[in-house]
């Protein structure tokens, strides 16, 4: 038996935007630092910087699925691994905010 968890699922920024535009309520977590968030984030995203994520897991619901976002997709992939290891259902938004063309809030 492999000690590795299942592969992390991915979603594109375009797919996230389409799902939001269709009215779907998504649980999005942006793991960028506060100064990066200040430049703009997906309106529905909750800010939890990667360095604080493990200490904030008790604030999240393991019954929900989360879409993880960062600047380019690397930190959010690491966040997915942390969350997956702790029993969460997660999807990584590949390309991160660099590829996001939807509305942002500041």
Domain spans in the chain, listed from the N-terminal domain onward: 9-99
Structure confidence by residue, pLDDT tens digits, 25-79: 999 999 999 999 999 999 999 999 999 999 999 999 999 999 999 999 999 999 9
- Percent of the chain whose pLDDT exceeds 90: 92
Q: Check residue 33 and give its pLDDT.
A: 97
Question: Catalytic residue at 70?
Answer: yes
**11: Cα separation from own chain's centroid:** 10
CATH T-level fold of 9-99: Oxidized Rhodanese; domain 1 (3.40.250)
The H-assigned helical ranges of 38-73 are 53-56
Q: Which one of the listed residues 28, 70, 80, 93 is annotated catalytic?
A: 70
Residue 1's pLDDT is: 40
Predicted TM-score (pTM) of the model is 0.92
Q: Is the pLDDT of residue 106 over 90?
A: no
pLDDT for 6: 62
Q: Where are the alpha helices (DSSP H) in the chain?
A: 13-21, 34-37, 53-56, 74-85
């Amino acid at each position: 038996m492999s000690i590795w968890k299942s592969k992390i699922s991915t979603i594109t920024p375009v797919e996230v935007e389409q799902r939001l535009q269709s009215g779907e309520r998504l649980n999005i977590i942006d793991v960028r630092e506060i100064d990066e968030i200040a430049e703009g984030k997906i309106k529905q995203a909750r800010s939890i910087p990667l360095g604080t994520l493990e200490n904030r897991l008790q604030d999240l619901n393991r019954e929900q699925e989360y879409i993880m976002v960062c600047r380019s997709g690397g930190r959010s992939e690491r966040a997915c691994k942390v969350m997956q290891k702790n029993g969460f259902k997660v999807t990584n938004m590949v390309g991160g905010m660099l590829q996001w063309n939807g509305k942002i809030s500041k």
